[in-house]
Structures are given as C-alpha cells and as structure tokens.
C-alpha cells in the first residue's frame, strides 16, 4: 500500500477540482469567505473518506445492479450526520453554508471516487484515497477563498488584514471578488498555473 502516493497525488497531479474538474459548483458557492470554505472542505473530506471506507468494506456484498442506490444510501447517511453535527456545534457556519452541506450528496467527487476506486480496492487504501481527494478539494477551496476574502473584503477568517491606513490612502476592496463570476475566474487561474507546472514535467 503506497500511502504517500494515495495522499499526495490528489493534491496536485490528479486534483479532483483542477485536473478532473469535479465539484466545481460548491467551489463557486462557498468560497466568498475563508471560514465556510474551511468547514466545507473538512465536511467533504470526512464524507469522502468514510464513504470510501464503508463502500469498500461492503463491495463484495453489493449486487452490481443496485450499487448506486447503496452508495447513495451510505453517502446521504454520512452527509446527514455531518449536517446535524454542524447544526449542533457550529450553528453560524452551518447557516452560512445553508443547502450546500446537504448538496455534498451530489458532489461528483464522492461518487467518482466510490465508482473508480472504492469498488475495486481494500478498505485501508480506499480510506486514504478518499482522504487524499477530500484534501485536494479542500486545498483548492482554501486557495480560492483566501484570495476572494483577502481582496474582496480585506479580511481573513473575519480578521482585518489590510491596514486601515491603506484605505485612507485610497485603497478599495474589490467588489467583483465577492461576486460568483470571480470564483470561476480564480479557479481558472489556479488550473492554469497547476496545469502549466504539471504538464511541463
């Protein structure tokens, strides 16, 4: 079992967002601020890792014809658990994320990893693969949210980063950064940089 390969490769070389272009919708929706992006990243990572693990355990018992339904059952159970957990312990963030936690069920990364990996690998490897892909997704989410919050609101995690003296000197927050189109453009730029680095090697 190649732990390093399973964990490191999805961060750059086979990143689910920038290389496989999966899970873009939630990247646009939750990246205006860093805090919801962090929570979303953790939630997705937990769901991918655990659902990969569980499906891998069950993989020999699942009839091939109804495997999607079984997968959905497992994923939705996990998502409801995460949603309830957030509502109990991080109510503010849960309100900010609103429907997007529930929509983790439809996140293509999870189904993609279940179909492509968990059904044909052992539970240990599947768990690591899910963890790696979840982290790869979180990484992009954090990069995008970092720039959008810093340039759009001048804050990070709610703390003022751009000093007041800059604003007095004429600096202004970039309103476009808060709007959804800029999320697409920032993801595009991240993809551009990532691809140009990985392709040349």
Partner 1 sequence: MNGKLKWLASWFEKHQPKGRWSWLGSTYEAFHTFAFTPNRVTSRGSHVRDAVDLKRAMITVVIALMPAMIFGMWNIGYQHYLATPEPLTSNPSPFTCFWFGFLRMLPMLAVSYIVGLGIEFTFAQIRHHQVNEGFLVTGFLIPMIMPVTTPLWQLALATAFAVIIGKEVFGGTGMNFLNPALVARAFLFFSYPTRMSGDNVWIAADLWGTDAIAGATPLAELAAGMQPSASVLDMLIGTIPGSTCETSVIAILLGAIILLVTGIASWRIMLSVILGGGLMGLLFNTIGANTYMQLPFYYHYLMGGFMFGAVFMATDPVTAAQTNIGKWIYGFLIGAFAVMLRVLNPAYPEGMMLSILLMNCFAPLIDHCVVARNIKRRQKRALIKSKVTAR
CB of 13 to partner 1, least distance (A): 22
Pick the closer one to partner 1 by CB: 81 or 185: 185
At residue 84's C-alpha, the angle toward residues 81 and 88, to 5°, is: 135
Least spacing, CB of residue 170 vs partner 1, in Å: 6
Closer to partner 1 at the Cβ: 163 or 188? 188
Question: At 63, is the secondary structure helix, strand, or coil?
Answer: coil
Nearest distance, CB of residue 147 and partner 1, angstroms: 14
12: phi then psi, degrees, rounded to nearest 5? -120, -60
Smaller CB distance to partner 1: residue 69 or 179? 179
Burial of 12 (0-12, 13-18, 19+ CB in 10 A): middle
Query: Is the CB of 61 or the CB of 170 nearer to partner 1?
Result: 170
Residue with tokens 């003022």: 160
Nearer to partner 1, 76 or 174 (CB): 174
Answer yes or no: are the C-beta atoms of 48 and 130 closer than 8 Å: yes
What is the rounded CA–CA span in Å between residue 139 and residue 8? Answer: 12
- Taken in order 110, 113, 119, 121, the sign of the CA dihedral is negative
Tell me which residues touch partner 1 (CB under 8 A).
170, 172, 174-177, 179, 185, 188, 192
To the nearest whole angstrom, how small is the minimum distance from the Cβ of residue 16 to partner 1?
Answer: 22
CB of 175 to partner 1, least distance (A): 5
Is the Cβ of residue 25 or residue 176 nearer to partner 1 in the bound state? 176
Buried b (16+ CB within 10 A) or exposed e, 43-82: bbbbbbbbbbbbbbebbeebeeeebeebbbebbeebbeeb
């Amino acid at each position: 079992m190649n732990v390093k390969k399973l964990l490191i490769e999805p961060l750059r070389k086979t990143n689910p967002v920038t290389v496989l272009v999966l899970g873009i919708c939630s990247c646009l929706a939750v990246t205006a601020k860093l805090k919801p992006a962090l929570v979303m990243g953790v939630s997705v990572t937990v769901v991918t890792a655990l659902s990969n693990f569980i499906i891998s355990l069950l993989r020999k018992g699942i009839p091939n014809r109804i495997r999607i339904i079984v997968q959905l059952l497992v994923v939705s159970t996990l998502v409801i658990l995460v949603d309830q957990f957030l509502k109990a312990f991080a109510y503010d963030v849960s309100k900010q994320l609103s429907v997007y936690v529930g929509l983790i069920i439809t996140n293509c990364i999870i189904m993609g990893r279940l179909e492509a990996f968990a059904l044909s690998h052992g539970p240990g490897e599947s768990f690591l693969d899910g963890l790696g892909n979840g982290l790869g997704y979180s990484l992009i989410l954090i990069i995008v949210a970092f720039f959008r919050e810093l340039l759009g609101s001048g804050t990070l995690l709610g703390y003022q980063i751009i000093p007041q003296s800059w604003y007095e000197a004429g600096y202004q927050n970039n309103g476009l950064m808060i709007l959804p189109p800029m999320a697409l453009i920032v993801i595009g730029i991240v993809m551009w940089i990532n691809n140009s680095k990985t392709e040349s090697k």
